[in-house]
């Protein structure tokens, strides 16, 4: 099995719901996003998936979050825009767009600071 990872990011503001502490107040992050996929086989060019496809697809999804107030987005109307929920939403959208018989999104990791992250996978 081959594993490929890209790193990208976005900047946005949010406030956590049902949280008792300073993060309940409006604040922002420069999130770093890691996307890992697994490829069973390589194509004729020797790649599991072209990094360009993986990066472009991820960036197209992140456009909806970048420089936004996350709490105003439809996907966060009923849930808190926590790093955990961001990771799960990104995972699901990437899975819908990228998964094939040979390529599977394995994990999405969302870093809200250089030493704090949340990840989502099916494991």
Domains in the chain (CATH in brackets) are 2-121 (3.30.479.10)
In this prediction, residue 123 carries a pLDDT of 79
Bridge partners, residue 38, by sequence: 3, 104
pLDDT in tens, 41-95: 999 999 999 999 999 999 999 999 999 999 999 999 999 999 999 999 999 999 9
Cβ atoms of 13 and 69 within 8 Å: the answer is yes
- Residue 47's Cβ-count burial label (10 Å; 0-12, 13-18, 19+) is middle
In this predicted structure, what is the pLDDT of residue 23?
Answer: 86
Whole-angstrom Cα Rg for the chain: 15
Which pLDDT tens digit goes with each residue over 8-31? 999 999 999 989 889 889 999 999
Q: Rounded to the nearest 5°, which phi and psi values hold at 15?
A: -140, 140
pTM of structure: 0.94
Residue 6 banded pLDDT, cuts 50, 70, 90: very high
Are residues 31 and 10 in contact, defined by beta-carbon separation less than 8 angstroms?
A: yes
């Amino acid at each position: 099995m081959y594993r490929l990872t890209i790193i990208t990011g976005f900047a946005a503001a949010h406030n956590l719901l049902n949280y008792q502490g300073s993060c309940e107040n409006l604040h922002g992050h420069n999130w770093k996003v890691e996307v890992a996929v697994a490829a069973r086989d390589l194509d004729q060019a020797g790649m599991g998936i072209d990094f360009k496809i993986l990066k472009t697809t991820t960036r197209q999804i992140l456009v909806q979050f970048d420089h936004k107030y996350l709490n105003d987005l439809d996907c966060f109307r009923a849930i808190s825009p926590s790093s955990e929920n961001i990771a799960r939403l990104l995972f699901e959208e990437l899975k819908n767009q990228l998964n094939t018989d040979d390529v599977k999104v394995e994990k999405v990791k969302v870093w809200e600071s250089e030493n704090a992250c949340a990840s989502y996978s099916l494991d």
